[in-house]
Each structure stands twice: as C-alpha cells, then as structure tokens.
Amino acid sequence: MRHHTGFQGVHTAIAVACLLAVGGCGDDTTAPPVISSVKEQLLHTLPSYNEMRDALIQIVGEQNGGLGFNMWAAIVDRDGFVLDVLFSGEDRDSEWPGSRAIAAQKANTANAFSLDNFALSSGNLYAPTQPGGSLFGLQESNPVDAQVAYDGNPKFYGTPNDPLTGKRMGGINVFGGGLALYSADGVLLGGIGLSGDTSCTDHIIAWKLRHALNLDNVPAGVADGNKDDNLILDTDGTLTGFEHPKCFDNAGRGDHVQIIADLPTTDPIGPQ
C-alpha cells in the first residue's frame, strides 16, 4: 500500500522554524540556512505522521521474524536533521525506550554513508567495522549528541512534537534497520531507521516501510549482485565483506533468513 499526500503543514512548520533559527537545529553557523531542494522534495513526499504510523503498525503486524515487538521509527533528511519520530505501540512505553535513539542513529548512518549512485544500509557496515575490518572504528567517528538525544519532555517522544524533530542527533549504528531514502527519480533524500526487535527484523520492517513510502529507488549496493542495500547474512562466520550476523526468531514469527532473502521480490526496490 502506498501512502502519499501533499506537503504536510507539520513538516513545513518544523522545517521552517528550525532552519530559520540561528543554531536552532544544532547548527553553529551564523547565517540562517535555506531549506534545500532535497529537503523540500522529501517533505513533499512524506505522508502525514498519522499515515506513516498507520503504515508502521500494519507492517509490524506482519510476519517479520524476530520477537514480534513494537518498533520505533525515525526519518532524517540529507543533512541529518530529524523530521519524524514515531512508534507502533499504544504508547511510548510499549517499545524499548532505548530504541528511540537507536532508530535515529540508524537513519543517520544509512544517510551518512550512501550516495546518489550507491546505497549502504546500516547492517551492511557490520562486518567491516569489526576488529580487523577495513572500517574498524567507523562506529566511533560520528558520535551522538547526547544533549540532543535526551533533551525535552519524554511525554512527547514519538509524537509529531518529539524533541528530536528539527535537530541533528548524529551517531553511527552498524546493526540492521537503517536504510537510505531515494525518490522515484533517484535522488537521495535522507534515511530511515527502525529499532525495537532483533536487528534483522528491524531491517525487514525498515525495508517494508521504505517500500510503502515509495522511497526505495535504490541505484546500487553491495547486496544481491550489487543491486541493492539488503542485508547479506553471514553463513560461515568469516565476516570478510559486508555481512551481518543471523538473528533469532520466536515460533510463529516467520524465518527472518527467508524473509530477508525474499524482500527484493515481495517488496521490490524502484518507483511504484
């Protein structure tokens, strides 16, 4: 199901208020920045908070492997500013509290290490960032701004007024669940992050939600013959490329290994 609406007032208000205030978005520049055309395109493309939350709730209820837990989701623009934070449960206590910041980290990671012509999911970075890997230490390179991550009244977490919105939290996370967002015409617009279950299930739900938003026109990646940014699950314990460990599943939640392998077919990349 696709969920498209016009330019949303809440997104507009957040973006304008943030970007017209000197330092209001965690930026130390002295001149008020201008809303970029890429940000504007993402804001035009995103549906309303309620529509995105409805899509997330529907997807979380599907067979996604893992534990069947509720999820946090976060969306950042190309500059790393948080646009939305939402959850799938009845309230913010229905999800792991620590997963809110992790979701924003994952969104930031996928956005920060993807390009217009090449996408890396957060989970693609697991193997090369392990000791001895070619990117070891990457996960320490862009630390979370703790003041941004934990600022504000917790009662607004996961609402349209989440204290993270309009701010850059930063952070690098190399678990599955972070994906770059590409418009139908192939422009890299930002990233989406999911957290709240096993990292493999986080990836599955992130993939499905990105597909539902029609922001999955991925140009290339390290998976599936360099076609996309799907997880490459480790089969022999060597972790020599861009692999991610397998996870575990509760009975009746589906086999995450098969679900991940089928994602390019069940939820294919590309404009719809």
Return the DSSP state at 216: B
Angstrom distance (rounded) from CA 174 to CA 123 = 5
Domains of the chain: 9-266 (3.30.450.150)
Token pair, residue 264, equals 């390019």
Q: Which of 218, 120, 223 is nearest to 178 (CA)?
A: 120
Q: Which are the contacts of 77, defined by CB distance < 8 A and separation ≥ 6?
A: 36, 38, 39, 42, 83, 111, 189, 190
Per-residue pLDDT, 150? 94
- The amino acid at residue 215 is L
Per-residue pLDDT, 139? 84
Per-residue pLDDT, 6? 39
Q: Is 59 helix (H, G, I), strand (E, B) or coil?
A: helix
Per-residue pLDDT, 10? 45
Per-residue pLDDT, 33? 53
Per-residue pLDDT, 69? 97
pLDDT, one tens digit for every residue, the chain (272 residues): 334 443 344 454 444 444 444 344 545 555 555 557 889 999 989 999 999 999 999 999 999 999 999 999 999 999 999 999 999 999 999 999 999 999 999 999 999 999 999 999 999 999 999 898 888 888 888 899 999 999 999 999 999 999 999 999 999 999 999 999 999 999 999 999 999 999 999 999 999 999 999 999 999 999 988 899 999 999 888 888 999 999 999 999 999 999 999 999 999 999 87
pTM exceeds 0.85: yes
Angstrom distance (rounded) from CA 122 to CA 15 = 25
Angstrom distance (rounded) from CA 60 to CA 86 = 13
Per-residue pLDDT, 35? 56
182-186 contacts at long range (C-beta below 8 A, 24 or more positions apart): 182/119, 182/215, 182/216, 182/217, 182/218, 182/219, 183/41, 183/42, 183/45, 183/215, 183/217, 184/214, 184/217, 184/271, 185/217, 185/271, 186/116, 186/217, 186/219
- The amino acid at residue 260 is I
